[in-house]
Amino acid sequence: MQHKLTPVADCAVTFRDPFWAPRRQVNRKVTLAREYELLRQTGRLDAFNPRVKGVHQFWDSDTAKWIEAASDALGAAPDPVLQRRVDTVVRRYVRSQQADGYLNSYYQRVAPDKRWTNLRDMHELYCAGHLMEAAVARYAAGGRDDLLQALCRYADHIGTVFGTGKGQKRGYPGHPELELALVRLYRATGQKRYLDLAAYFVNERGRYPYYYDIEAQARGEKPSAEKRGQAYQQLQAHLPLREQATAEGHAVRACYLYAGMADVAAETGDAGLKRTCRRIWKNIVTRRMYVTGGIGSSFAGERFTVDYDLPDEGAYAETCASIALVFFARRMLDLELDGAYGDVMETALYNGVAAGVSLDGTRFFYANRLAVYPALMERRISGQHFTSFRQSWFGCACCPPNIARLYASLGAYVASTAADRIALHLYAAGEIEAPVGDGVVRLALKTDYPWDGEVAIAVTPDRPRRFTLALRLPGWCARPVVRINGRRQPLARIARAGYAYLEREWRAGDRVDLSLPMAVERVEAHPSARQAAGQVALRRGPVVYCLEACDNGPDLADLALPRRAPLVARRSPILGGCVVIKGRATRRSRDGWKDSLYRTARAPRVPAAFQAVPYCLWNNRAEGEMRVWLREC
């Protein structure tokens, strides 16, 4: 393919669908305002002010994500109050920048003499990356280049400090993020030096001798042997990236890094990096991903563990990690248009990500477990991230503003364009204005997706125009049908790698009908995924379901679903309107157990009608048990 695909801008997409439109509205009206208030109360928005106490190494990133989210929201719709808030916060950053371009509230306030002495732990380059992303978003939303200019200066400063040149430090971020941010900065400014710097960070990472050893020695520490092996794997820095074959360590860091690597590969055409992207992607999605698109199964280290290790109660599956997977998937889609990437992106968005925030936009999950027993949470597991209910804030507040910026920029995940193509990845009612060649094509989608799979697309080019409309054929749909102006298209011929390629001269009034029949499916996991053995997850379209105690009573694990029991999908008014699944299972009778914990008499089973709701909507009505995987009998 000669032309590179580029995401459409969020502001070119209008959502009128039942799923994202209300969430984006809540995000703009409620979440952004509450996060502003919490960032303000905790001191983050005024971190350079000497009166603010407790400045933390990751504060800049929290604020930057909020600036990015607010800027994206302002790009979609003006809001004077929000605009004033963003301008004020940005002004503080711009004003606080040092003469050499350095810009970090923690080091400037707390340890001005310790700059660049601990990349491994201190999030210094990570914060720089988030500020760059915020700067690009602010510029893209309304042309305000104050922060962009500041961050270019900062990037230039970073470019003088790090690199392979004489006197430069051969360091790289302990928490990746800067890599993809530099590519965004390159795309926004056209300055190739930012791409080169991103490529440097990607290529330098994990080389021996380890930079983290060198800087530790410079700090007067003796890096232990343990640190080198296990601990650098935690940071994806145990091996040069091109030699890495599996997704390792902290899941958010990992997928931010892989996303940055995919960006560099896309811009440089580096075949080795592309291979590495594909290899690690494959390891994630075929061995280390929850059915919800959650990744990073271990609370300890917030990390990947080993192939097929996907505990449900013990799942960590950080909200930020699913977001990072969406970033990685989105970039792989533009690198090589393959529906498999779109399938994972869609799964993560409708499940692992959407579960991260309450319907009212005020509460968040940090960890997204696939089975929850509230009684246990009180006693067994400590840590505020591992609760059985969403919380309004976290000391480590990465997830809330990360959701906010993803939701505010969601349009950019819907479609990509190139000179001769529009690729449609997600289906949501609304309009898309896509630049194609020298003109513009409007797509108007009518659909009740994700609750229904009938999608009508009115195609309106600015003038009759030949181009390809590539429609993603979701992997969950066994028999999709595509019609143009009522005529069924031969998918066997025009579909490849999960997309249907509709090439023709399009005219105003053309209509495409995409029919994606949605059945309730029982999904099973690979025989090596032991924690799901004998169980199925219910899925309909891209939406994964769960059972909650408020619908089904406690002891959900004892429910067993007969193999051939019919499962009925029904539109329900609950939870803001959604499709629920109803069926009949069985559970063991409690009679006759008295005070026995174990017994050999077989307990009789009694019928138990059940209702499953979308996983992303759980804990919006009550606290209680929840379970995704259901045992079959």
Could you tell me how many residues make up the chain? 633
> 414: buried, middle or exposed (CB in 10 Å: 19+, 13-18, 0-12)?
buried
Question: Site for its own copies (CB under 8 A): which residue of 41, 88, 286, 384?
Answer: 286
Select 168 or 528, whichever has its Cβ closest to its own copies. Answer: 528
Select 381 or 456, whichever has its Cβ closest to its own copies. Answer: 381
Interatomic CA distance for residues 268 and 138, integer angstroms = 26
Interatomic CA distance for residues 410 and 67, integer angstroms = 16
Spatial contact of 425 and 497, defined as CB atoms under 8 Å apart:
no
Question: Site for its own copies (CB under 8 A): which residue of 123, 287, 390, 425?
Answer: 287
Determine, following the binding rule CB under 8 A, whether residue 380 of this chain makes contact with its own copies.
yes
What minimum distance in Å lies between the beta carbon of 208 and its own copies? 21
What minimum distance in Å lies between the beta carbon of 327 and its own copies? 20
What minimum distance in Å lies between the beta carbon of 593 and its own copies? 6
Query: Is 204 annotated as catalytic?
Result: no
What minimum distance in Å lies between the beta carbon of 298 and its own copies? 5
Strand 454-461 with 439-447, pairing: antiparallel
Close Cβ partners of 111 (under 8 Å, ≥ 6 residues apart): none
Query: Is 277 annotated as catalytic?
Result: no
Q: Please report, as residue ranges, which positions from 347 to 376 form the binding site for its own copies (by CB under 8 A).
A: 373, 375-376
Q: What is the DSSP letter of 162?
A: B
Considering only the stretches 217-225, 443-451, 522-530, 545-553, report the one whose residues sit in contact with its own copies under the rule CB under 8 A: 522-530
Close Cβ partners of 185 (under 8 Å, ≥ 6 residues apart): 132, 135, 136, 151, 152, 155, 191, 194
Determine, following the binding rule CB under 8 A, whether residue 285 of this chain makes contact with its own copies.
yes
List, in sequence order, every residue forming a beta bridge with 298; answer none if it has no partner: 303
Q: Please report, as residue ranges, which positions from 291 to 330 form the binding site for its own copies (by CB under 8 A).
A: 291, 298, 300, 305-309, 311, 313-314
Select 94 or 497, whichever has its Cβ closest to its own copies. Answer: 497
Q: What is the DSSP letter of 241?
A: G
Question: Site for its own copies (CB under 8 A): which residue of 207, 522, 584, 621?
Answer: 522
Determine, following the binding rule CB under 8 A, whether residue 597 of this chain makes contact with its own copies.
yes
What minimum distance in Å lies between the beta carbon of 21 and its own copies? 29
Residues 35, 177, 215, 302: which is the catalytic one?
Answer: 302
Q: Is 383 left (phi over 0), alpha (psi -120 to 50) or beta?
A: left
Determine, following the binding rule CB under 8 A, whether residue 521 of this chain makes contact with its own copies.
yes
Q: Is 392 left (phi over 0), alpha (psi -120 to 50) or beta?
A: alpha
Determine, following the binding rule CB under 8 A, whether residue 378 of this chain makes contact with its own copies.
yes
Q: Is 575 left (phi over 0), alpha (psi -120 to 50) or beta?
A: left
Interatomic CA distance for residues 462 and 477, integer angstroms = 32
Q: Please report, as residue ranges, which positions from 142 to 171 form the binding site for its own copies (by CB under 8 A).
A: none
Q: Please report, as residue ranges, which positions from 523 to 562 form the binding site for its own copies (by CB under 8 A).
A: 523-531, 533-534, 537, 539, 554-558, 560
- Site size with its own copies, rule: CB under 8 A: 59
Report CA 258 to chain centroid distance, whole Å: 13
What minimum distance in Å lies between the beta carbon of 350 and its own copies? 15
Q: In what order do the strands lie in the sheet with 510-515?
A: 13-15, 430-436, 439-447, 454-461, 510-515, 481-484, 487-488
Question: Site for its own copies (CB under 8 A): which residue of 160, 599, 604, 609?
Answer: 599
> 463: buried, middle or exposed (CB in 10 Å: 19+, 13-18, 0-12)?
exposed
Residues 152, 320, 398, 477: which is the catalytic one?
Answer: 398
What minimum distance in Å lies between the beta carbon of 598 and its own copies? 5
What minimum distance in Å lies between the beta carbon of 564 and its own copies? 11
What minimum distance in Å lies between the beta carbon of 581 and its own copies? 15
Spatial contact of 585 and 562, defined as CB atoms under 8 Å apart:
yes
Interatomic CA distance for residues 5 and 545, integer angstroms = 33
What minimum distance in Å lies between the beta carbon of 589 and its own copies? 8
Interatomic CA distance for residues 603 and 599, integer angstroms = 9
Determine, following the binding rule CB under 8 A, whether residue 593 of this chain makes contact with its own copies.
yes
Task: DSSP for 273-307, please give it.
Answer: HHHHHHHHHHHHHHHSB-TTS-B--BTGGGB--ST
Per-residue mark of binding to its own copies, 2-41 (x: CB under 8 A): ----------------------------------------
Question: Site for its own copies (CB under 8 A): which residue of 381, 444, 458, 550?
Answer: 381
Tokens of 70: 């607010």
Considering only the stretches 56-64, 160-168, 280-288, 326-334, report the one whose residues sit in contact with its own copies under the rule CB under 8 A: 280-288
Select 104 or 322, whichever has its Cβ closest to its own copies. Answer: 322
Select 55 or 585, whichever has its Cβ closest to its own copies. Answer: 585
Considering only the stretches 97-105, 378-386, 489-497, 572-580, report the one whose residues sit in contact with its own copies under the rule CB under 8 A: 378-386
Q: Please report, as residue ranges, which positions from 328 to 347 form the binding site for its own copies (by CB under 8 A).
A: none
Task: DSSP for 41-104, please give it.
Answer: HTTGGGTTSTT-----TTHHHHHHHHHHHHHHHHHHS--HHHHHHHHHHHHHHHHH--TTS---
Select 83 or 246, whichever has its Cβ closest to its own copies. Answer: 246
**Residues of this chain that bind its own copies (CB under 8 A):** 282, 285-287, 289, 291, 298, 300, 305-309, 311, 313-314, 373, 375-376, 378-382, 521-531, 533-534, 537, 539, 554-558, 560, 587-588, 590, 593, 595-600, 602-603, 631, 633
Q: List active site positions.
A: 302, 398
